[in-house]
Amino acid sequence: MSGQYQLAEATLRGSDYSIVVVVAVVALAALVVGYFLLREVLAAGQGTAKMQDIAKAVQEGAAAYLKRQRNTLLIFGIVVFLLLFALPAEGAGERIGRSLFFLVGAVFSFSIGYLGMWLSTQANLRVAAAANEEGGREKATRVAFRTGGVVGMATVGLGLFGASIVVLSFAGQAPKVLEGFGFGAALIAMFMRVGGGIFTKAADVGADLVGKVEQGIPEDDPRNAATIADNVGDNVGDCAGMAADLFESYAVTLVAALILGSAAFGAQGLLFPLIVPAIGVVTAVIGVFITKARPGENGLNAINRSFYISALISLVLCTVAAFAFLPTSFAGLDGAKTPSLPGNPGLIAAVAVIIGIALAGIILWLTGYYTGTEHKPVKHVGETSETGAATVILSGISVGFESAVYTAIVIGAAVYGAFLLSADTTVALFAISLAGTGLLTTVGVIVAMDTFGPVSDNAQGIAEMSGDVTTEGAQILTELDAVGNTTKAITKGIAIATAVLAATALFGSYSEAINDARKSLVAFTANLVSPNTLVGVIIGAAVVFMFSGLAVNAVSRAAGAVVYEVRRQFHDNPGIMDGTVRPEYGRVVDICTRDSLRELVTPGLLAVFAPIAVGFGLGVESLAGYLGGAIATGTLMAIFLANSGGAWDNAKKLVEDGNHGGKGSDAHAATVIGDTVGDPFKDTAGPAINPLIKVMNLVSLLVAPAVVTFTIQGDTALRVVISLVAVLIIAAAVVVSKRRGNAIADSPAEQVNNV
Amino acid sequence: MSGQYQLAEATLRGSDYSIVVVVAVVALAALVVGYFLLREVLAAGQGTAKMQDIAKAVQEGAAAYLKRQRNTLLIFGIVVFLLLFALPAEGAGERIGRSLFFLVGAVFSFSIGYLGMWLSTQANLRVAAAANEEGGREKATRVAFRTGGVVGMATVGLGLFGASIVVLSFAGQAPKVLEGFGFGAALIAMFMRVGGGIFTKAADVGADLVGKVEQGIPEDDPRNAATIADNVGDNVGDCAGMAADLFESYAVTLVAALILGSAAFGAQGLLFPLIVPAIGVVTAVIGVFITKARPGENGLNAINRSFYISALISLVLCTVAAFAFLPTSFAGLDGAKTPSLPGNPGLIAAVAVIIGIALAGIILWLTGYYTGTEHKPVKHVGETSETGAATVILSGISVGFESAVYTAIVIGAAVYGAFLLSADTTVALFAISLAGTGLLTTVGVIVAMDTFGPVSDNAQGIAEMSGDVTTEGAQILTELDAVGNTTKAITKGIAIATAVLAATALFGSYSEAINDARKSLVAFTANLVSPNTLVGVIIGAAVVFMFSGLAVNAVSRAAGAVVYEVRRQFHDNPGIMDGTVRPEYGRVVDICTRDSLRELVTPGLLAVFAPIAVGFGLGVESLAGYLGGAIATGTLMAIFLANSGGAWDNAKKLVEDGNHGGKGSDAHAATVIGDTVGDPFKDTAGPAINPLIKVMNLVSLLVAPAVVTFTIQGDTALRVVISLVAVLIIAAAVVVSKRRGNAIADSPAEQVNNV
């Protein structure tokens, strides 16, 4: 293998710039399309005054949460900004660019999250109102789809626009700057996923435990003080968190491709990774506009159809672009590093992109199969409800394990397939990252599909709380919600696939960063059969388990606080149960806000400081092992958590649709238990693993040169001190959150229990 | 680093042989001690005729199962024997020795399992009878402890004896022969763990679902047709499977140490790994004899005390032995390969063994903390029972995740600590394997502790079924059973630690096997940052998830068949419920036997053929990645499954002891659900991961040279065909077991449901 990890600085010429400008214009066009979709959504009817009241409370709660989260993240962002600034860099330009674009990535990520949240709080009311009108099914579906379209357009538009700007302004020293950009996006997305995930599930689980279980009142009953918080949660978790997460996937995947691009394919290598998602933007617009359920058709089929159609169009256009834009030999590339390399760049790029698009399609199919109500796995989970909750849990876990295995193997096959496209390591890694950009072409439609879920869920909540929606309208909203469960699981599968592809490709930069710092002729290898690398793999796998456990625990703790507050309100104010007194919704929103922001700190610190501890403490070989372990276990864990949760949720819906005894039966109670277990799995721990992997990857990439430099200089003491400080920070955070947990368990809830 | 992976053939001289003979005599002495303990156990009272009747049924069921399992394994064993014989080997001696000692390892493993099962079926009755006598607590505890002692002595005695024989007869060409021996032991242990685990939990879960849940009759009620099967299961799963598993741990750890020994430490390196466990045998005898609960003391404290005392004695004796037997410089070693190496062999060996013993102590403490009824985690799980089953499941999963993380990190730290003992790779790997032998010194006591659990559980069953045991006696047995839950979790932790240490050390042999086959001067490396290795890591992690899912599913399916049969008996024969007609216990035993033997095939084939598929299909780098992924994820998964299961079981016991509302409360129902979920976790999937890792490791070690040879010869087509055949075998097995599952779910159970 020649040219191992030879990344190099890119050079763009005049005509190249104009291509980037065209890409930026396409990105802006996506935003314009999004704007027109938005106008259509906002023009829809807003229902009764009562519905508007409720929607307003949800909007205010969500906005208040994100405002406070912004303040928390600001502190975090400044600290990381300073750390980043302090890290060794080659020259002031790189140092400033890296830190500055870290901020840009972070701000973009947060803004897209905010936009997603704002939009969905506007749309939920309108979907509920539409379901109430004549021809409600079509109208409600249309508004929900259109809302998804707005968020989808915004995500791909801003993602592509951001990447174009970075390339335009930093083409010369792009890699480090791009790393900063990706890191900012990933870090903020992780916090929004974790914080929003804790908020939404604390409110959801807390509301269910007191409402459904203790008081026997239905979900979304207005007498439950946690209902508004539950609806706020859908927006800050499933919408804001998801939008930021997918933006981050977009950003980091593009970063990986752009870093490798010029080394592998010269100037064209910097441009082609922008062209592919630009095509994706065009096909996403098509996908959003052609999504229309035929009469009597399941909504998921309609979504799937438009996904496959738009994916097929992307595939054709990308193949054409690859052959049109790229030469048939490496000698034909502008500024090719290895003009004598055998192989056809156009063919390599086309096949790589096709692999990525096919991967998206297979994940969509697999996830639909494992979490959809009409397929065997969910039906089987539903059947096991007849023998009680234990068998529901076991069958759901089996579904999760099984789907994780097949999805992981498919992702692995895609990586391996792209890897085989060239014997040159850099080109092979670039092919893997191009498969990632192929995956990105589907993100617009994916986001549109995903947003659909929480918007429908919220619309259902508003309908239930206001009591102003007809039975028929409520049924429509329930159906839309069930489709949402599957689309949400699909999004998580696609997101984790981007994490694996980007991480694999970024290993090239990792190796190069170490080679540069070592100034050695011997290329860096992390030999897996050596115990230090293997120990790294074990620790990496352990961190995924720890992060998942922390997230689940955080939900339990925060839900406990919600339970206490709702119980207190019922106890102090008997009028709430009679329906004569309005519960203090705002207090539960405040509790969720406070607790979720407090709880996101520990997993956040773990993600940032664990690679620092391993890198400085055990060296760069162990750190590579750590990343490998985290990627492998993280992939499986993320899909397991997402799909078992999705299967449980839909098994519950199956029973609620009248199977196995229907609502109120023992079988229903069993599936409610499954759903509650699945809540923090699928909406808190699972989706946060994607940005977690990327954050750890980028932190490792950023600190590796410092580790090497200290090692060469013999600063063992300094390395050990840095590692210990990192370990202590994590340990202190864990201890503090454990203490908090016990305090909640031991005091107020107990008191109210005993009242 | 010099001397990378230079394993060499050992040479023993006259005085060395006499040391091996002394070790063999110590091993035989352990068996003699075991014999005297056995006489004491058998001399104990056997209770009423009714109790003896029940015990007889259990004995017959267990013996019948193992007989049929033996026949199944015989087929498997012959096939693997032939495959092994067909693999490339250097000369006929290696080929014959390897295959022959595969059979020896397999026969030993099976025999120890059989012995463990036979003993416990003899002891359970006597423990139940003792609990009924005057001073029942002391007597019952003593009989249970002594039974454990017999199995402990048998395991270490036969393990050490087997290894001594191999060294005596094959010292010259030991490595490949040793691999065969370890492979035979691990393969049979895996099947016994999986088969027994499916049997025991199918019967347990099936009995609970119909008895406790549907009919509302207590556990072990004689009217339940599955009770005898449940008790048989405790013996074939928890006793036979566990004994074979720990024997296998013993064998493979010693194999790893002996393979590396002579290369690292010359002739002394072949002897010291035998001396350490010989010391362990002596201290195990001490440990078994000093175990005695003080009046009013928790049984676990007594066990822990004797563990720590015997571990301390081992530590002192091993340190003395290391300094007495090994020289202070490498030049002083007989036939040292690298006499100029800096460092003190005696010190290195002493510290390595101390690391191993300390690791056992820490795992004991950690597991006790996370699964014991008197510590916070289980108490917390118990508390969450007040908010229903969902919170019980979530808190138990959190406990499992958390304990897995800390245990994995401690194991990782032990590996890394031993690795740091020498800059020479071979010596560092030998130090890691010596840490494994340090861990082995505790196995005698560990097995004694573990056997205690199922024996007490069974005694409880006999007491309940016969109705001939006093309330006080029953209470004593319940307490003993709770202690057993924690000791069983500890055993699994120790076993998985041996898997990591042995696997890490065996990576040295793996590399050497490849270097030998390649005949290249460039040492083999599996570069983790290269995509093909990383894909291997992902697949390795996936196989662990798949294996766990298959095991859990197998239990669900087999339990479904049990549910159907028990329901049928209740339905066809109303006299059973009145207590006038005796249910047909034998039919349920037959069903469990048939189903568990059928169900073990798929996970068994996965374990053997997945490394073959990866190795031949993707190459030896991917296969190394595969093993790394399987080790890391397997460690975490095994501990997660074992400890969450243990915590749920003990949380249930906490509630049954009168906390949170006691028996019959909603909280109790919630913990019963947790316990049922935990059953296949802790007794089927979790414990089988340890032998799984070792089987996959040894298969990889055995096939790697063939992969390299085919690659060098350019036989790509042959490689691909072998890989595809392996994949097809796995796929076919998965499809067949899925079909079976659906057939059960769709037909008879449904029919009876609708009766």
DSSP line for A487-545:
HHHHHHHHHHHHHHHHHHHHHHHHHHHHHHHHT-SSPP--BTTSHHHHHHHHHHHHHHH
Closest Cβ–Cβ partner in A209, A535, A545 for B388: A209
Contact yes or no for B505/B432 (Cβ under 8 A): yes
Shortest alpha-carbon distance between residue A430 and chain B (Å): 11
Question: CB distance B528–A528 less than 8 Å?
Answer: yes
Place A174 in a pLDDT band, splitting at 50, 70 and 90.
Answer: low
To the nearest whole number, what is the mean pLDDT of chain B? 87
A412 interaction partners in chain B (CB closer than 8 Å): 535, 538-539, 542
Closest Cβ–Cβ partner in A405, A504, A631 for B546: A405
B500 interaction partners in chain A (CB closer than 8 Å): 538
Closest Cβ–Cβ partner in B391, B398, B552 for A397: B552
Has residue A509 got a pLDDT over 80?
yes
Q: Which of residues 544-573 of B touch A (CB under 8 A)?
A: 545-546, 548-549, 552-553, 555-556, 563
Residue A310 or B297, more confident: A310
3 state DSSP class of B527: strand
Q: Is B511 on the interface with A (CB under 8 A)?
A: yes
Q: Let me know if B296 is exposed, middle or buried by CB neighbors in 10 A (0-12, 13-18, 19+).
A: exposed
Question: CB distance B419–A532 less than 8 Å?
Answer: yes
Q: At what angle do helices A686-712 and A620-656 cross, to 10 degrees?
A: 180
Shortest alpha-carbon distance between residue B269 and chain A (Å): 20
pTM above 0.90?
A: yes
Q: Is A415 on the interface with B (CB under 8 A)?
A: yes
Has residue B753 got a pLDDT over 50?
no
What's the one-letter identity of residue B74? L
What is the spatial distance between Cα A316 and Cα A314, in angstroms, rounded to a whole number?
A: 5
Has residue A746 got a pLDDT over 50?
no
**Which residue of chain A is at minimal alpha-carbon distance from B414?**
A535
pLDDT digits (tens, 9 = 90+) for B454-506: 888 888 888 888 888 888 888 888 878 777 777 888 888 888 898 899 888 88
Sign of the torsion formed by the C-alpha atoms of A390, A392, A395 and A397: negative
Q: Which of A215, A386, A416, A529 to mutate to test the interface with B (most CBs of B within 10 A)?
A: A529
Has residue A311 got a pLDDT over 90?
yes
Place A47 in a pLDDT band, splitting at 50, 70 and 90.
Answer: confident
Radius of gyration over every alpha carbon of chain A, rounded to an integer in angstroms: 25
pLDDT score, position A151? 87
B383 interaction partners in chain A (CB closer than 8 Å): 745
pLDDT score, position A745? 47
Question: CB distance A538–B397 less than 8 Å?
Answer: no
CA A425 to chain centroid, in Å, comes to 29
User: ipTM of this model?
Assistant: 0.93
pLDDT score, position B172? 57
Contact yes or no for B717/B526 (Cβ under 8 A): no
Shortest alpha-carbon distance between residue B545 and chain A (Å): 6
Q: Is A387 on the interface with B (CB under 8 A)?
A: yes
A563 interaction partners in chain B (CB closer than 8 Å): 387
Contact yes or no for A189/A109 (Cβ under 8 A): yes
B626 interaction partners in chain A (CB closer than 8 Å): none
Residue A624 or B137, more confident: A624
Q: Which of residues 395-414 of A touch B (CB under 8 A)?
A: 395, 397-398, 401-402, 404-405, 408-409, 411-412
Number of cross-chain residue pairs from A and B with Cβ atoms under 8 Å apart: 276
Q: Is A380 on the interface with B (CB under 8 A)?
A: yes
Has residue B75 got a pLDDT over 90?
no
- Alpha carbons within 13 angstroms on the beta-carbon side of residue B566 total 35
What is the spatial distance between Cα B404 and Cα B370, in angstroms, rounded to a whole number?
A: 10
Closest Cβ–Cβ partner in B527, B540, B745 for A525: B527
Share of chain B above pLDDT 70, in %: 95
3 state DSSP class of A134: coil
Question: CB distance A542–B384 less than 8 Å?
Answer: no
Q: Extract the tokens encoding A710.
A: 């200290």
Q: Which of residues 423-482 of A touch B (CB under 8 A)?
A: 425, 428-429, 432
Share of chain B above pLDDT 90, in %: 37
**Which residue of chain B is at minimal alpha-carbon distance from A553?**
B398
Question: CB distance A380–B745 less than 8 Å?
Answer: yes
A425 interaction partners in chain B (CB closer than 8 Å): 530
Closest Cβ–Cβ partner in B401, B428, B526 for A527: B526
Residue A338 or A13, more confident: A338
Question: CB distance B618–A416 less than 8 Å?
Answer: yes
Shortest alpha-carbon distance between residue A98 and chain B (Å): 24
Q: Which of B168, B185, B163 is nearest to B27 (CA)?
A: B163
Place B6 in a pLDDT band, splitting at 50, 70 and 90.
Answer: very low
**Which residue of chain B is at minimal alpha-carbon distance from A636?**
B542
Question: CB distance A387–B539 less than 8 Å?
Answer: no
Q: Which of B456, B459, B453, B559 is nearest to B54 (CA)?
A: B459
Has residue B171 got a pLDDT over 80?
no
To the nearest whole number, what is the mean pLDDT of chain A? 87
**Which residue of chain A is at minimal alpha-carbon distance from B511?**
A529
Q: Which of A528, A631, A684 to mutate to test the interface with B (most CBs of B within 10 A)?
A: A528
Question: CB distance B529–A624 less than 8 Å?
Answer: yes
Q: Is A595 on the interface with B (CB under 8 A)?
A: no
A628 interaction partners in chain B (CB closer than 8 Å): 528-529, 533-534, 537, 625, 628-629
pLDDT digits (tens, 9 = 90+) for A645-684: 999 999 998 998 888 888 888 899 899 999 999 999 999 9
Q: Which of B190, B326, B221 is nearest to B267 (CA)?
A: B326
Closest Cβ–Cβ partner in B529, B531, B636 for A545: B636
Kind and range of the H or E run holding A597? helix A585-599
pLDDT digits (tens, 9 = 90+) for A226-257: 888 988 888 888 888 888 888 888 888 888 88
Q: Considering only A10-14, A604-608, B304-308, B690-694, which range has the smallest mean pLDDT?
A: A10-14
What is the spatial distance between Cα A213 and Cα B388, in angstroms, rounded to a whole number?
A: 8
Question: CB distance B633–A631 less than 8 Å?
Answer: no
Q: Assign residue B335 a region: left if phi > 0, alpha if psi is -120 to 50, beta otherwise?
A: left
Question: CB distance B428–A531 less than 8 Å?
Answer: yes
A633 interaction partners in chain B (CB closer than 8 Å): 541, 629, 632-633, 636
